[in-house]
Structure 1
Amino acid sequence: MIDTHCHLTFPGLFEQVDAVLARARGAGVDRMISVATTPDDAKRAAALAVDEAGVFATVGVHPHYAGEWADRDALVEAMLAVAGLKGVVAWGEMGLDYHYDEPTAEVQRQVFAWQLEVVREHGGALPVVIHNREATDDVLAMIREAGLAGERFVFHCFTGSRAELEAVLAIGAMVSFTGIVTFNSARDLAAASDVVPLERLMVETDSPYLTPEPYRKVRPNEPRYVREVARFLAKRRGMSEAEFVKVVDGNAERFFGLRG
């Protein structure tokens, strides 16, 4: 099985990464995409991808780190320096996060716009991992303004409303769910997940965060628990876990260009 979004380079996982990978593989999770939040983080993820079979990396600037970039050329250079490395399968994560006041929305939008320019001008066929929190309208508007096909994007850790989900689906994007969808407090989100076409659906852990039920109190979250997200969504759709995993793994293989 594939965990399409985790952070193997983050504290809680990186210092025990060999054990984390062993536990994941023992649970049948044989492929993991370690998503970067900065170009330096991307270098660490890419190095891990070289050393470990079944580990892949991305390169991008998370909106929380947008304030560290005031020079477009420096950002472009830093991203391109990593994008061509072995094991890098996507841009991101990038996007907007309006939950906090800093960095300001203006700064976030500027850095997101620069990254979308990189994707358009240098991106090749690599897909894009989107971080979106309380900013759906602006994220979608900026994707449209960049002239990029919606099919290239996955909205990771989706937690928005049914209306927001329908807007994301309308541009052709993929949608990925984390352990949040398994929480008793997220019943509306679980219900919304039912409307995502099966061929547009992926699952992830976003570990070391968001451990799914029934392991919600376990810290840190790990890629091995992505099976619980799959199991939960499969049950909602009346599918066997094996049948569901086959489909969502196929989606991830196709979207990220992973080996089968």
Structure 2
Amino acid sequence: MLLVDSHCHLDFPDFASEIPQLLENMRTQGVGWGLCAGVTLEALPSLLALVSAHENLYAAVGVHPDHQEGREPGEDELVELTRHPKVVAIGETGLDYYRLEGDLEWQRQRFRCHIRAARRAAKPLIIHTRSAAADTLAILKEEGADAVGGVFHCFTESMEVARQALDLGFHVSFSGIVTFKNAVDLKEVARQIPLDRLLVETDCPYLAPAPHRGKRNEPAYVRHVAEEIARLREMELEEVAEATTSNFFRLFNIPRETK
């Protein structure tokens, strides 16, 4: 049984001196692979160096919707970055109206840029959406994102939003939030997502699942997310692992090596 952490940030400074131990923790918990999502252009060289050094790590390239400082991505640059052999997606990208106020048209334009680049590069998208589901879905539809699909990462929305994402050909990924006792509605969504569109993730260093809630998260803890999904769906952990791992390799068009 092997799991995949479909969204993590192992290139963050939190982890700089601990990569060998974190990879060993993954191995001991049956986590075979991880996808490290980009958040700024400035950090991409170190991210790409990290995934290049470890065969079981992959990367996505993009600029997080929260980031107002730093260089703005251009469509051509994003397409060129996808030529790196370990880059399997564009993101994370999307809309986040939770922390920022005022005219957020710049966020929407950045999001459109990422979608257009993904279509040109024929790469799936990793979508971040917070307090912005309606606009996120509308822009995905307007820009023809169904041509490439992708994943709504760290999903916290309603089943109706999930249905619209599924209709656009997207997968839905659950983080440690689904293990929280007060996440009653989200647990119900996790029961209903089709098994062939389901992914699990940590979004580490954030959102550590129970029983580690409040501590720094790491990819090995994705096992707790998968265990909760299995409990909610009345399935064996091995079934959830096989489905989510197969979904990961199919979605990101990665040849699945044996481990």
Same fold (TM over 0.5): yes
Contact 1:89 1:256 in 2 (8 A): yes
Separation in 2 of the partners of 1:234 and 1:180? 15
Aligned to 2:57: 55
1:158 maps to 2:162: no
Aligned to 1:100: 99
The structure 2 residue matched to 1:184, chosen from 181, 185, 207, is 181
Question: What pairs with 1:113-152 in structure 2 (closer than 5 Å)?
Answer: 113-120=112-119, 122-124=120-122, 126-149=123-146, 152=149
Contact 1:63 1:96 in 2 (8 A): yes
How many equivalent residue pairs?
A: 254
Aligned to 1:202: 199
3-state SS of paired residue (1:33):
strand
Structure 1 residue 153: deviation in Å?
2.0
Separation in 1 of the partners of 2:255 and 2:68? 32
Contact 2:128 2:152 in 1 (8 A): yes
Flag as ranges the 4+ runs of structure 1 deviating above 6 A. none
Separation in 2 of the partners of 1:80 and 1:123? 6
Counterpart of 2:217, as a letter, is N
Aligned to 1:4: 6
1:243 maps to 2:236: no
Structure 1 residue 104: deviation in Å?
4.2
- When structure 1 is superposed on structure 2, of 176-185 and 76-85 the one drifting more is 76-85
Separation in 1 of the partners of 2:205 and 2:58? 17
Greater per-residue helix proportion? 1
Structure 1 residue 79: deviation in Å?
2.1
Separation in 2 of the partners of 1:6 and 1:38? 14
Structure 1 residues 52 and 224, CA gap change in structure 2 (3 angstroms): same
Contact 1:4 1:202 in 2 (8 A): yes
- When structure 1 is superposed on structure 2, of 209-218 and 39-48 the one drifting more is 39-48
- Give me the identity figure in percent: 37
Contact 2:176 2:225 in 1 (8 A): yes
Separation in 1 of the partners of 2:69 and 2:107? 7
Deviation string, structure 1 residues 116-146 (Cα, Å, up to 9, x no partner): 22222x312x111000111111111111111
Separation in 2 of the partners of 1:180 and 1:22? 24
Separation in 1 of the partners of 2:7 and 2:189? 20
Q: Which runs of 5+ in 2 are unaligned?
A: none
Separation in 2 of the partners of 1:239 and 1:145? 37
Q: Which runs of 5+ in 1 are unaligned?
A: none
Structure 1 residue 82: deviation in Å?
2.2
Separation in 2 of the partners of 1:159 and 1:119? 24
Structure 1 residue 66: deviation in Å?
4.7
TM-score normalized by the length of structure 1: 0.92
TM-score normalized by the length of structure 2: 0.92
Structure 1 residue 65: deviation in Å?
1.6
Contact 1:49 1:86 in 2 (8 A): no
- When structure 1 is superposed on structure 2, of 94-103 and 239-248 the one drifting more is 94-103
Separation in 2 of the partners of 1:183 and 1:150? 34
Separation in 2 of the partners of 1:192 and 1:104? 32
Contact 1:39 1:79 in 2 (8 A): no
Counterpart of 1:61, as a letter, is V
Counterpart of 2:106, as a letter, is V
Aligned to 1:41: 43
Structure 1 residues 130 and 101, CA gap change in structure 2 (3 angstroms): same
Counterpart of 1:198, as a letter, is L
Separation in 1 of the partners of 2:172 and 2:147? 11
3-state SS of paired residue (1:46):
helix
Aligned to 2:22: 20
Counterpart of 2:121, as a letter, is G
Separation in 2 of the partners of 1:85 and 1:203? 25
Counterpart of 2:90, as a letter, is W
